Amino acid sequence: MKVKLLAYTPNPEKVVAIAARLCYSNKASIETISDGFTDEEITKFVTGLINTGHHSTLEHVSFTFGIEGISRVVSHELVRHRIASYSQRSQRYCAEGECNFIYPNGYQKTEEAKEIFKSSVCNSKDEYKDLLEEGVAKEIARYVLPNATETRIIVTMNARSLLHFFSLRTCSRAQPEMRDMANAMLFEVKKVAPILFKNGGPSCVQLGYCPEGSRCCGRAPTLDKLKEAYRFCVAQQDMC
């Protein structure tokens, strides 16, 4: 899996702070709204917005990711997040005869399970090629390909949507491949907007409690340690 931050709103935290200042200022005009805005004031504004739940101003900044080496299982889950834009490699126009497959952790639980999984995906590729040779269009032949088929996608989300996305998809209950991708995305945005995403992570990190009820993973006693892992991580693999 490879996740790269391709583009983002320049000075994202300043843009958010300017939007907030406009909301609360009686005198400042658009031309002068950012005058004299120090780094300390920006930090104070952004931190206050996040802590008080005034998240609408976070929608003014966006982040675009290039993601490859994920399965169509994960891409199907990803596009359920509606406040976002997506461009995905098309199976309708692109031939998948030489496609790769994603082998998730757990498929090799037993030797028999491992062989069943490998046999299934490999057979699907052969059958896909056979259909093409029989003159079946790519857009029809793709129906035999499994969810394990590797794909690539470009995703753009605003900061508010990203925080919601992280709250769900970095949770220990998230699908493992999805969680790995979400953690990698969080690591990327923390590089360029550390204040905005200071509390980025699962719901328990962002909210201070778990909203899953009886489905909670039970890690609440170690919440401080979990928060620290997400807040101060220096590498993706250091995350929980």
Domain boundaries, the chain: 2-87+151-238, 104-148
On average, the pLDDT of the chain sits at 88
Residues 189-207 have a mean pLDDT of 90
Residue 135 — very low, low, confident or very high, per pLDDT cuts 50/70/90?
Answer: very high
| pLDDT, tens only, 82-114 | 999 999 999 999 999 888 999 999 898 899 999
* Amino acid letter, 231: R
The encoded tokens of residue 94 equal 């692109």
Report the C-alpha dihedral over residues 68, 235, 196, 210, rounded to 10 degrees. Answer: 90
Q: Would you say residue 125 has pLDDT above 60?
A: yes
Q: What percent of the chain has pLDDT over 90?
A: 62
**What's the pLDDT band for 123 if we cut at 50, 70, 90?**
very high
Q: In CATH, what number does 2-87+151-238 get?
A: 3.30.1360.170
Residue 155 class from Cβ within 10 Å (0-12 exposed, 13-18 middle, 19+ buried)? buried
Phi, psi at 238, each rounded to 5°? -85, -10
Question: Can 231 be counted among the known catalytic residues?
Answer: no
Nearest one of 16, 22, 86 to 44, comparing CA atoms: 16
Tens of pLDDT along 147-176? 999 999 999 999 999 999 999 999 988 999
Q: Could you identify the residue written with the tokens 């490879």?
A: 2
Least confident residue range of 39-48, 59-68, 134-143, 209-218: 209-218
* 3-state DSSP assignment of residue 178: helix
* Catalytic hit among 72, 142, 169, 179: 169
pLDDT average, residue stretch 104-130:
93
